């Protein structure tokens, strides 16, 4: 952490400024030390990363551990195919016509927060572009040990800061950022609603908050999601990963059927619509998320299934809920993109 960044940090409890005590430094980079609050609490700086996580919520801690585990498996998510898939998906859902347009969207900001950055995978899609100038400060926050992985992967990019903190107790004063990006994070906290309100607090007037959250599915799919999540909940992360391998094999067999069926009628009770369906996708959306993508390796596919089933907190919400929470957070929605999987929202804080 560069010592200049002290100015953008605050005690997550009372939002007062912090005082730095340095134990180890390299020039102006603080490697080890403490950030001291008014009441004497000391937040550690370890490996150059300020550590602010205070929660004792058991399901949040399990969720955090699961993500620390999966983002530490570097060879299971960072292939050219995985990055290409993610880039085209995000450009489409957030409504950017090209990667360059997405880079310049964030590059036009003074200070961008990636809220729940994990290992920085999604941000890396634009941070690693040659068009990224580093005139913008990029702040990555994650509750889990994935923040260390993010620093290892992206710490060489100038003007980046990595912080281990909870989205519900952010260590920043009000109105600190003119851009916030939160890709697939808010639903992994104890409350998606409170996470939206918390992000809005640190957004400046005129700033933009871009986020993606899960959508509530039909009844059988919701049941299976909870059933599998519950079934692996007492396992270790390693055993849960292994269990996801069998599920992934099933997904691969179904995907490779490449068989379509035509439904003459809607099945409202199950939330299934009439029409032409690929059998695997019909099962995927309505009965059980069994992820398979031919362009990814087997372990990359396991990664996606683990990502879905392993965290205890993975709330699914309706469009109405998400709109209501944005309204409550005094955010004006400028784009609301709906997919089977979830909602991608661009929201503005009025001046």
Ligand X SMILES: C[S@@+](CC[C@H](N)C(=O)[O-])C[C@H]1O[C@@H](n2cnc3c(N)ncnc32)[C@H](O)[C@@H]1O
Q: Which residues bind ligand X (CB under 6 A)?
A: 60, 63-64, 67, 71, 116-118, 121-122, 141-144, 146, 166-168, 183-185, 188-189, 307
Question: Between 11 and 166, whose beta carbon lies closer to ligand X?
Answer: 166
Cβ at position 213, least distance to ligand X in Å: 11
Beta carbon nearer to ligand X, 60 or 176: 60
* Cβ partners under 8 Å of residue 332, min gap 6: 326, 347, 348, 349, 350
Nearest-approach distance from CB 314 to ligand X, in angstroms: 9
Supply the minimum distance, in Å, between the C-beta of residue 233 and ligand X.
16
Which CB atom, from 114 or from 178, has the smaller least distance to ligand X? Answer: 114
- Least separation in angstroms between CB 258 and ligand X: 29
Determine the residue with CB nearest ligand X. 118
Q: From the CB of 278, what's the least distance to ligand X, in Å?
A: 25
Are 308 and 224 spatial neighbours (Cβ–Cβ below 8 Å)?
no
Q: Specify the residue, 94 or 282, whose C-beta has the smaller distance to ligand X.
A: 94
How far does CA 76 lie from the centroid of its chain? 17
**Least separation, in Å, of the C-beta of 330 and ligand X?**
21
* Interatomic CA distance for residues 80 and 76, integer angstroms: 11
Instruction: Rank residues 25 and 229 by Cβ distance to ligand X and give the closer one.
Output: 229
CA distance linking residue 148 with residue 137, whole number of Å: 18
Report which DSSP code applies to 128: T
Nearer to ligand X, 137 or 344 (CB): 344
The CA distance from 141 to 162, in Å, is 6
Sequence length of the chain is 351
CA distance 36 to 18: 5
Q: Which of 128, 173, 133 is nearest to 150 (CA)?
A: 128
Exposure string (b/e) for 197-235, b if CB count within 10 Å is 16 or more? bbbbebbbeebbbbbbbbbebbebbeebbeebbeebeee
């Amino acid at each position: 952490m560069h010592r200049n960044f002290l100015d953008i940090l605050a005690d997550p409890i009372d939002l007062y400024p912090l005082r730095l005590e340095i134990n180890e430094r390299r020039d102006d980079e603080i490697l080890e030390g403490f950030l001291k609050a008014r009441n004497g609490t000391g937040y550690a700086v370890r490996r150059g990363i300020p550590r602010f996580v205070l929660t004792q919520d058991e399901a949040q801690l399990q969720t955090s551990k699961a993500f620390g585990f999966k983002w530490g498996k570097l060879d299971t998510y960072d292939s050219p195919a995985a990055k290409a898939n993610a880039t085209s998906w995000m450009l489409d859902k957030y409504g950017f016509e090209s990667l360059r347009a997405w880079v310049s969207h964030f590059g036009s900001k003074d200070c961008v927060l990636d809220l729940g950055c994990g290992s920085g995978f999604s941000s890396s899609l634009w941070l690693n572009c040659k068009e990224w100038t580093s005139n913008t400060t990029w702040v990555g926050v994650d509750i889990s040990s994935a923040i260390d992985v993010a620093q290892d992967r992206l710490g060489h990019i100038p003007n980046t800061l990595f912080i281990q903190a909870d989205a519900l107790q952010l260590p920043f004063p009000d109105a600190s950022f003119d851009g916030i990006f939160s890709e697939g994070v808010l639903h992994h906290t104890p409350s998606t609603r409170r996470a939206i309100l918390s992000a809005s607090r640190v957004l400046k007037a005129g700033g933009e908050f871009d986020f993606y959250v899960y959508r509530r599915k039909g009844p059988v799919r919701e049941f299976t999601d909870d059933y599998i999540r519950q079934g692996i909940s007492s396992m270790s992360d390693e055993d849960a990963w292994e269990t996801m391998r069998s599920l992934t094999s099933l997904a691969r067999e179904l995907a490779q059927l490449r068989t379509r069926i035509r439904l003459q009628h809607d099945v409202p009770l199950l939330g299934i619509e009439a029409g032409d369906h690929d059998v695997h996708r019909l099962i995927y959306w309505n009965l059980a998320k069994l992820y398979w993508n031919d362009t990814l390796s087997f372990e990359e596919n396991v990664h996606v299934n683990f990502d879905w089933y392993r965290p205890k907190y993975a709330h699914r919400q309706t469009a109405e809920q998400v709109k209501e929470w944005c309204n409550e957070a005094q955010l004006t929605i400028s784009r609301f993109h709906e997919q089977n999987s979830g909602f991608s929202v661009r929201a503005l804080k009025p001046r």
